[in-house]
Structure 1
Amino acid sequence: MKKQCDQCGYSFEREPGYFFGAMYISYALAVSEMFSVFILSIFVFGMSYLYTLSIICIMAILASTFNFRKSRVIWMYLLRKPSS
């Protein structure tokens, strides 16, 4: 991630352990994505469980980078100080 925001100068670097809570958000994002893929593949497309598991594994690997960055942004937004 960048060290500072190009537009507002907000510092993305925090003290050690600051993004520990972002792991929970990343986990929630991954579980919701996996559950959505499971429901779609089983009930909508009628795929077998083996194909569904394969698709879920591939999707989880491909979405990990997106989830990593998005969870950090959500965590920073949740803990930001309101501007006066």
Structure 2
Amino acid sequence: MRAIASDPAVLMLDEPVAGMNDVESDELAQIFRDLAGRGLGLLLIEHNVGFVTRLCKHIYVLDAGRLLASGPPDQITNDPRVIEAYIGASAA
């Protein structure tokens, strides 16, 4: 990964698992965990909710450019506002 060759403090990634299968995305997730374990900050923009919830400790959800929700994965996946925004139906 050329992006980490210059030893950045933060790595910003936009849709890194787009087009990957589950095996490939799991391998990339492990690479990200290893990098984070070495102190590298990771900012991830990703629509693959399963990948994000398995990888991230804290998630920020944006809707139309505004912060909709923030918190740990279990809180985010059960938030009615997030469900409504991304599924399009009321969670109630």
TM-score range, shorter chain: under 0.3
**Which is helix-richer, 1 or 2?**
1
Q: Greater strand share, 1 or 2?
A: 2
Instruction: Give me the TM-score of the superposition, normalised by structure 2.
Output: 0.25
| TM-score, normalisation: structure 1 | 0.27
Q: Which has the larger radius of gyration?
A: 1
